[in-house]
A = this chain, B = another copy of it.
Amino acid sequence: MEEKLKELKNRLQEIYDLECASSVLGWDQNTYMPPGGGPARARQLALLRRLSHEKFSSPGIGKLLDDLQPYEESQPYDSDEASLIRVTRRKYEKAVKVPPSFTAEMARHGASSRNAWVEARPKNDFSMVEPYLEKSLELRQQLADYFPGYEHVMDPLIDYSDYGMKVSDIKLLFGELKKELVPLAEKIASQEPPDDSCARQHFPEEKQLMLGLEVAKRIGYDFDRGREDKAPHPFATRFSIDDVRITTRVLEDDVRGALFATMHESGHAMYEQGVKKEFEGTPLGRGTSSGVHESQSRLWENLVGRSRGCLSYFYPRIQEVFPEQLGSVPLETFYRAVNRVSSSLIRVYADEVTYNLHVMIRFGLEIELLEGNLPVRDLPEAWNEGYRKELGITPPDDKDGVMQDIHWYGGGIGGGFQGYTLGNIMNAQFYEAVLAAHPEIRSEIEKGKFSTLYDWLRENIWQHGSKFTTHELVERVTGGPISIEPLVNYLKTKFGEIYNLK
């Protein structure tokens, strides 16, 4: 059995290495690749993805998993060995249903589509990406069809990123949450909004980048095993447990964008850097789901980063870096500026209250698209209608409207957005749990000490990688199921205080 387990690990290592090689190519595509590099890159990515899929879905892996089943059953459910076999089998059973040539086609098309988006977005030209979106939609529907018997066409797609979740569960959760968020946002909207002009001055890019790096290092992102570069859309990516990178985007006219994007991506990166070393090179060696990943990124960005305590620690340094802009601005003014609630155009810069409405609009549109009820050509209008209805604003153009996020234009229609709000829900649950265990964390953060929080997250969440499903992890950490209550309580308390609500 040890022999077989070893052989399985050897094979998985190769697959993992091919996936990481793809990730390097993807990272370069989004950071440094010159325009001419696009077509060949699409081909290279398609080839690498096909090879890794071929290797993973080979009968040899299936045979090893069969042979290892008795061993798996002889081990405790949460042992590393049983978990490795279990999680690998789950992914294998999905993989064998999809032809590697189809995976290659998705990768090739996704990369080409992404190249078109990079060109089309600054030109505000939706028509340039429309044919790519049509094709992406077709491919995603085809992908779903490899999993007949689904309840909803988006379920198999969600299953890739948030295993165990279905459209019906998510609709339920989102519905409950919306019932709480809309009245809260309305109450807030009836108050005088804080003045955030202090954050909207000229902040030179270089200094913003330097500040972001300092903050990321301070909270615990290990730069001997990572780095930050610029990209049109911030993301985190992993080339190995010891090379986990992030990207950011800088707005020179708003100091909030890059700072909180960097904390967000650092949260993703710390999760990946914190996975148990022994899981490296196997399907256990990554964060378990999109939702849990977002719970970590948004925990650092918002629950920590936008808290008064954390800002009271970092703000003097921020003032030092930007003395002309912020030297005479009191902490409280800055705190309120970074927590200003308002209907806005851009998801990644949205406040904590309205953010989830941005996600829900996208989630709803994905359902419409995949169900075939919304033709791609009508998407920009449907987008604008969603923003009018849910947020009371109309995007002035497609660039900052329907074309703002890379997800759909990288080929991923369906399965990519629900994780953000699931993450918001869970991060409040996790933060409640850690504060119950370590109430001292609040005061530590004020002093710039993040290690108790960091260690607890690593111990209870990060190290497990993909060993536990989202549901299992939430149960283990919080003792209960996924619940919106902690998030609602958190938002009501925080913004009730800022906006002086009754």
Contact = CB atoms under 8 A, between A and B. Distances in A.
A421 interface: no
A243 B34 contact: yes
Contacts of A229: 32
Contacts of A242: 34, 36-37, 39-40
Contacts of A43: 13, 17
Nearest to A31: B32
Given A34-B225, A227-B34, A24 B28 contact: yes
A243 B17 contact: no
Interface size class of A (residues with CB under 8 A): 35 or more
Interface stretch (A44-52, A88-96, A292-300, A339-347): A44-52
A51 to B, nearest CB: 7
Contacts of A37: 225, 239-240, 242-243
A20 interface: yes
A223 B17 contact: no
A225 to B, nearest CB: 3
A21 interface: yes
Interface in A446-476: none
Interface in A194-250: 222-227, 229, 239-243, 245
A243 B33 contact: yes
Interface in A1-52: 13-14, 17-18, 20-21, 24-25, 27-28, 32-37, 39-41, 43-44, 47-48, 51
A21 B48 contact: yes
Contacts of A41: 239-240, 243
Nearest to A229: B32
A33 B226 CA distance: 8
A412 B227 CA distance: 29
B21 A227 contact: no
A254 to B, nearest CB: 25
Contacts of A34: 223-227, 242-243, 245
A40 B33 CA distance: 22
B44 A243 contact: no
Nearest to A33: B243
A17 to B, nearest CB: 5
A44 B17 contact: yes
Contact of A240 (B27, B40, B225): B40
Contacts of A27: 28
A162 to B, nearest CB: 27
Given A28-B28, A51-B51, A21 B44 contact: yes
Contact of A17 (B36, B47, B227): B47
Given A37-B225, A37-B242, A239-B37, A44 B32 contact: no
A231 B35 CA distance: 22
Contact of A32 (B33, B48, B227): B227
A295 to B, nearest CB: 25
A41 B229 CA distance: 19
Contacts of A39: 240, 242
A223 B44 CA distance: 21
A107 to B, nearest CB: 12
A229 B223 CA distance: 20
A1 B48 CA distance: 29
Contacts of A240: 36-37, 39-41
Nearest to A47: B17
Interface string A175-209: 00000000000000000000000000000000000
The 9 nearest A-B residue pairs measured at CB: A40-B240, A37-B243, A36-B242, A36-B225, A17-B44, A17-B47, A21-B44, A34-B227, A35-B224
